[in-house]
């Protein structure tokens, strides 16, 4: 999957997960990030509001999203 960055230079990790419908709520996004279930560029990411920029790749639950 791809996410096209249109309004600004970044999107926060928790917002991306919700926008891409990989999770149901902001609270769920926070919990899965804190539970170390999300990878950013092949590394576990625990910062809920990690700024994602063009070229970053997010992986969660078998899904992979590239920021373009």
In which region does residue 21 sit, left (phi positive, over 0), alpha (psi from -120 to 50) or beta (all else)? left
Residues 51, 68: Cα–Cα separation, whole Å: 14
Joined together, the tokens standing for residue 17 give 């997960």
CA 28 to chain centre: 12
Domain CATH number, residue 16: 3.10.290.10
The residue to which tokens 């419908």 are assigned = 21
Is pLDDT at 59 greater than 90 in this prediction?
yes
pLDDT surpasses 90 at 65:
yes
Q: Please state, rounded to an integer, the average pLDDT across all residues of the chain.
A: 95
| Domain housing 58 | 2-67
Task: Tell me the pLDDT tens digit for each residue of 40-57.
Answer: 999 999 999 999 999 999
* Token reading at 22: 């990989």
Q: With 90 as the cut, is the pLDDT of residue 13 above it?
A: yes
Q: Look at the chain and report how many structural domains it folds into.
A: 1
Distance CA 40, CA 43 (A): 5
Q: Is the pLDDT of residue 35 over 90?
A: yes
């Amino acid at each position: 999957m791809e996410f096209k960055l249109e309004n600004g230079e970044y999107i926060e990790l928790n917002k991306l997960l919700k926008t891409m419908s990989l999770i149901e709520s902001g609270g769920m996004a926070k919990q899965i990030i804190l539970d170390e279930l999300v990878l950013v560029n092949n590394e576990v990411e625990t910062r809920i509001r990690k700024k994602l920029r063009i070229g970053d790749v997010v992986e969660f639950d078998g899904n992979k999203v590239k920021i373009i």
